Amino acid sequence: MNKNIMAIRKPFKRGDFWYYEINRKRVSLKTKDKAKALRIFNEIKREYLAGRLKQLTKEKSISLGDFAAEYLEWAETTQIYKTFRANRLALNKILAIESASKRLDQLSHKTIDKLVAQSRKKKLKPASINNYISHARMVMNKAVEWKYVKENPFASCKLVKKTKRPPAFLSPEQCTEFLASVTDNELKKLIISYLFTGRRREELFNLEWKDIDFERNSYLIRRSKTHLSKHYPMHPTFREVLESYEDRTGRVFKKWLHIDTISKHVKQALINAGFEDFRLHDLRHTFASNLAEAGESLHSIGELLGHTDKRTTEIYAHLSSGHLTQSIQKLTYQPE
């Protein structure tokens, strides 16, 4: 009798998942579905009998397409949606470059090189390209954990170098021109709020009415990965926007159901106003830069922006020195 056949035990269930046994070592098939477990097992068995399956007790050869299907099935119910969506997008980018039938252990740096080349051809920003690379790594870490490959083929791939862009901002006159061009009243309220608070994109998107304190003329930005919970003073113009709303339940800017929609609409509004090179985050720069040019201290600007590291605020240092020229002229004593 063929010893190879005797070395493999048919799939069996332990808890919710299906397993098989090879040389008395239990290996997970990473699925709760019996039909899928049998299909995967039969493919493994064929490879094993043909002598093409290497180190079966430690790792299994699997195609990129099969791994992608298995990974997405697992990730959709395990990861938070934002992470799952980014990982799925990165995986789809890899699938668009490589054949779905390609073995997982045949992926290499060349795959990422192709991804970078295609992304640059589409004129994607370095941040977007690096996001694909980072999430592709994350996906392949799971392939290592599941013992489909010995090591992550993208682990040592370098991120694309970012060209540092100085903060772009609108002057007060340009802000007036920009706001005058916005015809959608709800969009105008949102843009005014960004211009008069300097808040990050997600901070206004997530702002709730329970965080607004009209009596103290302040609002609360809750803790996030980059920000500690903190109360901020309201500018009168921002307060006017808030007071214009009758429904004061849930999120303040509830018209906008997805955060990416905000970026899209603000960007289009900037383009329509003739500011094609600007983006939503530049409204935050506008808030800070105009304060700096007006002579406000970097410390105060950093406090208003919610910076936890004062070095982050130093990008506005060259703007905050303009008022010093005027200040030094106030010296009136004369040398002998």
Render pLDDT for 107-153 as a digit per residue (tens, 0 to 9). 999 999 999 999 999 988 898 999 999 999 999 999 999 888 889 99
Q: Is residue 29 part of a domain?
A: yes
pTM of the full predicted structure? 0.59
Q: How many Cα neighbours within 13 Å face the side chain of 307? A: 20
DSSP state of 79: S
Residue 42 binned pLDDT confidence (cut-offs 50, 70, 90): confident
331 vs 41, 296, 323, 335, CA distance in Å? 86, 21, 14, 11
**Dist CA 140 CA 65 (whole Å):** 13
Residue 267 binned pLDDT confidence (cut-offs 50, 70, 90): very high
- Decide which of 100, 128, 145 is a domain's last residue: 145
**Any idea of the CA torsion for 272, 278, 282, 285, to the nearest 10 degrees?**
-110
Predicted local distance difference test score (pLDDT) of residue 45: 78
Does 297 lie in the same domain as 179?
A: yes
**Dist CA 85 CA 256 (whole Å):** 19
Nearest to 203 by CA among 174, 175, 232: 232
Give residue 69's domain range: 64-145
Q: Over pLDDT 70: what percentage of the chain?
A: 87
Does 301 lie in the same domain as 247?
A: yes
Q: Is residue 125 part of a domain?
A: yes
Domain count, the chain: 3
Does 231 lie in the same domain as 111?
A: no
Does 311 lie in the same domain as 187?
A: yes
